[in-house]
Structure 1
Amino acid sequence: MMYMRLKKNRNSVSSHGATTANVKRYIDYASLHGFDALLVEGWNIGWEDWFGNSKDEVFDFVTPYPDFNVAEIRDYAKQKGIKMIMHHETSASIRNYERCMDDAYRFMKENGYDAVKSGYVGNIIPNGQNHYNQWQVNHYLYAVKKAADYKVMVNAHEAVRPTGLCRTWPNLIGNESARGTEYQAFGGSKPSHTTILPFTRLIGGPMDYTPGIFENDIHKLNPDNHSWVNTTLCNQLSLYVTMYSPLQMAADLPENYDRFLDAFQFIKDVAIDWEKSWYLEAEPMEYLTIARKAKGKDEWYIGGTNGEQPRTSQVDLSFLPAGKYVATIYKDGKDAHYKENPQAYTISSQKVTPKTRLKIWTAAGGGYAIRITKAE
């Protein structure tokens, strides 16, 4: 599933965007570009008094703001072929969430929501508990099992790192559970970060990393925030291949994608689930290149993610079956740099075979993405 998000600014009530009109605009955009679903944050009352206040009862998970018409949005999304994903921010008040959980899941099903993104931002309530102790780990399992009772898919953020639980409870479609893209707005992660996670965090299960950021300067979105996304645009494209999840997000604003529609095409094309994967080259903290075959299709995708040092990647296509193919290559421009020129990229196509060896230069904090299809 590929989804988009209408995100609330967690530190600003005035930035409330979860209005019926705005959600419809996002539904239209998601439908136009072939996405499966839309997640809306900030739809339910309580956001004006939630963070850092250690309040036990903040959200009830069934009461929308007056300008968020649940039924109207439900019907409009269905008409456009878009599934809606519910958002449950608990503000780390676990007792309150468990008290409300049955009502919340019933409300979801009554309104056509089959998936929930849950969040656990803040210090755990009751005091003395934390995100990783046994009491809280038991809660995560309880939430997944309760969701299964209602046939609800769970994508948990700020939860404990998974250890294969999704094999027993496959409705746990993914977790964040490490520094995802959101942390780029909290001072930024190092460019090497995503060359490490596939060998650490992702061993436990799929990660909802939320890639796809095309605008690096967070200040343009929030004048009080001077953070910077420490990757190039093509590095962001590569993450759809290297950071495995059957649930992927296009995490930027529609207006930023509209500025780079040719690069946005890769996000629209890239597969979500895979039949087979090949790790072509890797040095944690430095670089990582992965190739994958799309499930049920004669399409192959390659993602190359680079750390701090520019380098030339060696891409061996011998994993391809015998035949002739066309490779569409999205790569850093010759003057690209994650800090100085992150939006410099080129797109080219060339004929390839299993004997082809590609040499692709990647910038500092850069990367590349390749789509391979059979030649006509």
Structure 2
Amino acid sequence: MAVGLFSLLVSMGAAAQSITSPNGLLKLTFSLTANGEPVYELTYKDKVAVKPSRLGLELKKDAGLMNGFTLLDSKTSAFDETWKPVWGEEKEIRNHYNELAVTLNQEAQKRHMVLRFRLFNEGLGFRYEFPAQQNLNYFVIKEEHTQFAMTGDHTAFWIPGDYDTQEYDYTESKLTEIRGLMQKAITDNASQAQFSLTGVQTALMMKSADGLYINLHEAALIDYSCMNLNLDDKNLIFESWLTPDAKGDKGYMQTPCQSPWRTVMVSDDARDILASRITLNLNEPCKLEDTSWIKPVKYIGVWWEMITGKSSWAYTDELPSVKLGETDYTKTKPNGRHAANNTNVKRYIDFAAEHGFSQVLVEGWNQGWEDWFGHSKDYVFDFVTPYPDFDVKMLQSYAKSKGVRLMMHHETSSSVRNYERHMDKAYQFMVDNGYNAVKSGYVGDIIPRGEHHYGQWINNHYLYAIKKAADYKIVVNAHEAVRPTGICRTYPNLIGNESARGTEYEAFGGNKPFHTTLLPFTRLIGGPMDYTPGIFDTKLSFLGEGEHSFVHTTLAKQLALYVTMYSPLQMAADLPESYERHLDAFQFIKDVAIDWDESKYLEAEPGDYLTIARKAKDSSSWFVGGITDENPRTAVVNLNFLEPGKQYVATLYADGKDAHYIDNPASYQIKKGLVTSKTRISVKEAASGGFALSLVEATAADKKAVKKWK
């Protein structure tokens, strides 16, 4: 439909309803077309951000919830509260919005639907609500047709739309260029399913030619399918595209129920997107009565040596297949490369204890890794039976004596039925053996076969696992699961997710230098990511000569990621010996906080650079991280966020003068000096480089021993 005719239909419909954001900069307008189609429009500072866009759902074997509506009721309200997260980027979060709730009557079908809009200072959240009613009880969604009509050919930072993975490198292009670049943007993964040459995933970050930053995402993805976006690249209209089940259906609903929130963040300052807490605010408050057992975690792990190929998850190379309960590993020959052995794990425990890390992740400890992947195997792991060279009781006792805990690993191999079959027993095994944190994985195609990683059924499983873990006081770090949508507010034992292309890909082929300048604008909009930073040996020299990948950053940039990539779950991912060669730089990883009172976004341009400062929880110390893409730049850090009248010891970890992520990534320099809130620091960042800065309130001794910053 031509834009002019569409506007005419809007004007002929019901009288428009509108609300503005608390600060008056955003305006949401809702109306009905002459055909009774719901339509919304969003403006920012009187500039159109989202043109008139249709709303509605197509139902299976039903007339659908697309048109034929009249306005039955309209209510506006305001809300303003401050709440405290269990962990987070700040100790308090303000939830402040104006709301418009419109009740629409579909006279022909004798049923009604509510559209609820919440307008915050930095964006919009809206959802469909289906009250209990006689003529709308059980229904099947064929497709949700939520539109986001763009005003121009914006620059977008996107990954291919997919039902199974977000583990793609980002592509920067105009909206009209997505179709031509799609095939190049698709790279191999253990499980993937694209649906369109113009389909992309949320959170989608864009920038208009006139300087508006626009972010599209969703919040509170519960009992519903994950939303992709399909672009009509002729009219520049995105439309929601839900993940189907094995039958091709998009959702099974029973009233009363609702969709997740659809979110549109808008600002002319990129820093506002990073500072927004819309996604969290649109989720329900914490449902756990006791959260005292949920603690942020800084950990190391028996992991990177397997990711890079130095070691093996499997115990033996002699078994072409394994049947748990029938295979006798004591009669096989160890391959000599199995990393999860007693001696090696004790080495990691010793390193963690020496340097103040609270946990050690161990992957490959349990029987079944010889044939775990690629066979669509149902009964693949039981999550409680160790290999002969992994003594659970001894290692747990050893770790406890050192003040360290082991972190559990549950790789489900995407056999979800098998995981649920064993879940209670596996969690009880953790409790019995002193584990309180689990990293779960969903590599490969989902079983039941035909289901996808992001469909309604599997999304319900992920939440089931989180709730079940809470019963056992266990925190969850889910890898390969659906990308987060703020559910960690409601269930804060969901302490981390992967759900994007992480550091592991640096061993498989590399991440683009601008990758981590984008993730805070995209993947992290929904919640923290277990990115597993801290790789010091970026050339992977322990693999010797030959063809292998390298980490596409400098060493200093790896330090900065502990600040710019927010997570209450932070891993020092490299091998202990790599850190032992650079103990002066490793000090920052030991010092940096993982829970925060306050966060300041100092510089930001998606795809180019970030500089973020954070104040440690219940402390006067601040930490700053700055990163750049493949282009060197100079970051300027104004320390006016420090408490006036006080002096701080600043320790700067920066790229060396000759640093370069390809030619000389390990070149760094460390500088120390006294600073105040009036100090400005300029730092040169190398290509794909960065810097880390710690700011600790000076003691009397520091004031005598440390020179003023120059």
User: TM-score band (shorter)?
Assistant: over 0.9
Distance apart, 1:21 and its partner CA: 1.4
| Corresponding position of 2:490 | 168
CA offsets 1:47-92 (integer angstroms, 9 cap, x no match): 1111112111111000000110000011111110001110001111
CA offsets 1:301-339 (integer angstroms, 9 cap, x no match): 000011110001111111111121221000000110111
Distance apart, 1:370 and its partner CA: 0.2
Q: Which secondary structure does the structure 1 equivalent of 2:380 belong to?
A: coil
Could you tell me which of 429, 432, 435 is aligned with 1:110? 432
Is residue 2:697 matched to residue 1:361?
no
| Corresponding position of 2:365 | 43
Is residue 2:581 matched to residue 1:259?
yes
| Corresponding position of 1:349 | 672
| Corresponding position of 1:96 | 418
Is this contact kept in 2: 1:219–1:225, CA < 8 A? no
Aligned-residue RMSD, C-alpha: 1.3
Could you tell me which of 390, 403, 423 is aligned with 1:68? 390
Q: Which secondary structure does the structure 1 equivalent of 2:428 belong to?
A: helix
Structure 1 residues 58-207: aligned runs within 5 Å: 58-207=380-529
Q: Which secondary structure does the structure 1 equivalent of 2:500 belong to?
A: coil
Is this contact kept in 2: 1:219–1:227, CA < 8 A? no
Q: Which secondary structure does the structure 2 equivalent of 1:9 belong to?
A: helix
Is residue 2:654 matched to residue 1:331?
yes
Could you tell me which of 299, 304, 311 is aligned with 1:3? 299
- Of 30-39 and 2-11, more deviation after overlay is shown by 2-11
Could you tell me which of 359, 371, 376 is aligned with 2:694? 371
What is the TM-score normalised by the length of structure 2?
Answer: 0.52
What is the TM-score normalised by the length of structure 1?
Answer: 0.97
Residues 238 and 153 of structure 1, relative CA distance in 2, 3 Å threshold: same
- Using CA pairs below 8 Å that are at least 6 residues apart, which structure has the higher relative contact order? 1
Taking the aligned partners of 1:102 and 1:222, their CA distance within structure 2 comes to 43
Distance apart, 1:223 and its partner CA: 6.9
Is this contact kept in 2: 1:3–1:36, CA < 8 A? yes
Residues 88 and 222 of structure 1, relative CA distance in 2, 3 Å threshold: farther
| Corresponding position of 1:297 | 619
Percent same amino acid among aligned pairs? 66
Residues 165 and 107 of structure 1, relative CA distance in 2, 3 Å threshold: same
Taking the aligned partners of 1:111 and 1:224, their CA distance within structure 2 comes to 42
Amino acid at match of 2:306: N
Residues 224 and 70 of structure 1, relative CA distance in 2, 3 Å threshold: farther
Q: Which secondary structure does the structure 1 equivalent of 2:451 belong to?
A: coil
Q: Which secondary structure does the structure 2 equivalent of 1:318 belong to?
A: coil
Taking the aligned partners of 1:346 and 1:146, their CA distance within structure 2 comes to 47
Is residue 2:567 matched to residue 1:271?
no
- Of 19-28 and 212-221, more deviation after overlay is shown by 212-221
Is this contact kept in 2: 1:219–1:226, CA < 8 A? no
Taking the aligned partners of 1:26 and 1:223, their CA distance within structure 2 comes to 26
| Corresponding position of 2:339 | 17
Amino acid at match of 1:129: E
Distance apart, 1:179 and its partner CA: 1.0
Question: Unaligned stretches of 5+ in structure 1?
Answer: none
Residues 189 and 321 of structure 1, relative CA distance in 2, 3 Å threshold: same
Taking the aligned partners of 1:349 and 1:238, their CA distance within structure 2 comes to 17
| Corresponding position of 1:209 | 531
Taking the aligned partners of 2:541 and 2:413, their CA distance within structure 1 comes to 25
Taking the aligned partners of 2:675 and 2:690, their CA distance within structure 1 comes to 20
Taking the aligned partners of 1:156 and 1:16, their CA distance within structure 2 comes to 24
Question: Unaligned stretches of 5+ in structure 2?
Answer: 1-296, 315-334, 700-710
Taking the aligned partners of 2:414 and 2:486, their CA distance within structure 1 comes to 23
Q: How many residues align?
A: 376
Taking the aligned partners of 1:334 and 1:227, their CA distance within structure 2 comes to 25
Q: Which secondary structure does the structure 1 equivalent of 2:501 belong to?
A: coil
Is this contact kept in 2: 1:310–1:362, CA < 8 A? yes
Taking the aligned partners of 2:696 and 2:636, their CA distance within structure 1 comes to 20
Distance apart, 1:220 and its partner CA: 3.2
Residues 25 and 306 of structure 1, relative CA distance in 2, 3 Å threshold: same
Residues 302 and 9 of structure 1, relative CA distance in 2, 3 Å threshold: same
Taking the aligned partners of 1:112 and 1:77, their CA distance within structure 2 comes to 10
Structure 1 residues 244-255: aligned runs within 5 Å: 244-255=566-577
